[in-house]
Amino acid sequence: MTDRQPGFSTLAIHAGAQPDPTTGARATPIYQTTSFVFNDADHAASLFGLQAFGNIYTRIGNPTNAVLEERVAALEGGTAALAVASGHAAQVVALQVLLKPGDEFIAARKLYGGSINQFSHAFKSFGWNVVWADTDDIASFERAVTPHTRAIFIESIANPGGTVTDIEAIAAVARKAGVPLIVDNTLASPYLIRPIDHGADIVLHSLTKFLGGHGNSIGGIIVDAGTFDWSKDGKYPILSEPRPEYHGIKLQETFGNFAFAIACRVLALRDLGPALSPFNAFMILTGIETLPLRMQKHCDNAKAIAEWLSTHPAVAGVNYAGLAGDKYNNLARKYCPKGAGAVFTISLKGGYDAGVKLVSKLQLFSHLANVGDTRSLVIHPASTTHSQLDDAQKTKSGAGPDVVRLSIGIEDKEDLIADLEQALA
């Protein structure tokens, strides 16, 4: 090609990939191997010493995974990426590079229930402390900043409520505090929102959801925006200080604007070990090729169904930022003009019992704990994904007892509406 910058759909198919040099295979092969042969002793030493790039062991890197990493980095506008075993693994790996025991990070209250649980409980065993803030009150993020703060964590579109976050406003708080902004972009995908364009320094995904898109493979990814100076004030010694295991290399000094991605790979992933299998990387790569087509259909269906539900007598409310009267509609038009995503919640007039009954009556919607599938999905968060939270936490995170979460697939919308109609009746 010329100097022309490829469009999104072109990148979704071609970024990172070339025909296999040995066989000419056009699809990226599955390099189903544990290890890779070195040319000689010097080559091996240079790879282990970070003096050359190449493959050593699939726990640290694999050619199939590398194509996936380059593709998602290109779609997000980042400098580099690291694929790992799950979205939860991406959060652990990213924060392990940033936090020491006693450090804090600020997180939005409106998050996936599994993330709330991970941050509140599992991370305590590492000595990492979460401080909660409210995305509807940007000043709450400023008030939460202390000398121990090392990151701010938000979702671009929050799970389960589908609320759109003011990324630029929170990015300004992060810059003032001198810490990176981490954005989980799972529900939006880069097709709808590219958080780096709005001030994010690190972007995370559960590849399991819209990027993979077919409900068949679990994975996660960390994208380095290359925008943060890790050495400016000594807050991030893993990146700014000499690494004894790599002969005194300073990662920021050596790798520049992709130092964070390198640190995640050669320190956190190397030692914690949540590697993504090459087979799952292949499956997710295949899903990404149709991402723009799927996401537009997801969004078009979701808007039509949300509008229909908003008029149904059994429904007390529809929380979907794509609706004209929704509280977050202005933010949706600003950050994701192509669509407000495919995940939203409804509140039922019958409360908890009505929510439980609805998910059992639906036939075309699958009752399961996932989003972002080609198939339409449903769950009652208060009794499942958010059941570990107390009632106040459930309500604050958008998962009150009367709430049902819908993930709208790419079926014919008329069939989905008919299924909802019979179940609500």
What local confidence, expressed as pLDDT, does residue 394 receive?
A: 74
Query: Which residues lie below 8 Å from residue 231, measured CB to CB, with a gap of 6+?
Result: 239, 240, 250, 252, 253
- Give the list of residues 6+ apart from residue 2 with CB closer than 8 angstroms, or none: none
pLDDT at 37: 97
pLDDT band at residue 172 using 50, 70 and 90 as cut-offs: very high
| Cα→Cα distances 340→296, 323, 356, 358, Å | 10, 9, 26, 24
pLDDT of 392 reads 78
Contact 50, 249 (CB under 8 A): yes
Summarised one tens digit per residue, pLDDT across range 402-417 is: 899 999 999 999 999 9
pLDDT digits over 356-376, tens only?
Answer: 899 999 999 999 999 999 999
Could you give the maximum distance between any two Cα atoms of the chain, in Å? 73
pLDDT on residue 397:
66
Average pLDDT value for residue range 35-39:
96
Distance of alpha carbon 342 from the chain centroid: 15
Crossing angle of helices 278-288 and 63-76, in 10° steps, is 40
The three-class DSSP label of residue 201 is: coil
The domains found in the chain, sorted by start residue, are 8-287 (3.40.640.10), 291-424 (3.90.1150.10)
Q: What is the pTM of this model?
A: 0.95
The pLDDT of residue 231 is above 70: yes
How many whole angstroms separate alpha carbon 89 and alpha carbon 85?
Answer: 6
Q: Half-sphere exposure of residue 382, counting CA atoms within 13 Å on the CB side?
A: 25
Q: By C-alpha distance, which of 127, 412, 425 is closest to 297?
A: 412
For residue 339, what are its two tokens? 């669509």
Q: How confident is the model at residue 167 (pLDDT cuts 50, 70, 90)?
A: very high
Question: For the segment 177-228, what is each residue's pLDDT rounded down to a tens digit?
Answer: 999 999 999 999 999 999 999 999 999 999 999 999 999 999 999 999 999 9
Tokens coding 275: 């590697």
| Cα 125 from Cα 225, distance rounded (Å) | 29
Whether 116 shows a pLDDT value over 60: the answer reads: yes
**Whole-angstrom distance, CA of residue 392 vs CA of residue 116:** 13
**Beta bridge pairs of residue 35:** 57
79 pLDDT tier (thresholds 50, 70, 90):
very high
Q: Check whether 388 has a pLDDT greater than 80.
A: no
Question: Residue 119 in contact with residue 109, Cβ under 8 Å?
Answer: no
pLDDT tops 70 at residue 118 = yes
Three-state secondary-structure class, residue 3? coil
Q: Of how many residues is the chain composed?
A: 425
pLDDT band for position 4 (50/70/90)?
A: confident
Q: Which tokens sit at 375?
A: 């198939």
d(CA 226, CA 100): 22
Q: Is the pLDDT of residue 387 over 80?
A: no
**What pLDDT is recorded for position 2?**
62
Q: Is 410 exposed, middle or buried (0-12, 13-18, 19+ CB in 10 A)?
A: buried
User: What 3 state SS string does 246-297 have?
Assistant: HCCECHHHHHHHHHHHHHHHHHHHHHHCCCCCHHHHHHHHHHHCCHHHHHHH
In sequence order, which residues have a C-beta less than 8 Å from that of residue 265 and are 6 or more positions away? Answer: 60, 61, 82
Query: Does residue 57 register a pLDDT over 70?
Result: yes
The mean pLDDT value of the chain amounts to 95
**% of residues, the chain, pLDDT over 90:** 89
Q: How far from 254 is each of 113, 180, 244, 263, 425, CA to CA, in Å?
A: 38, 20, 14, 11, 63
Q: Say which residue, 111 or 397, is predicted with more confidence.
A: 111
- What span, in angstroms and rounded, lies between the C-alpha atoms of 348 and 424? 9
pLDDT above 70 for 335: yes
- Joined tokens for residue 117: 């649980």
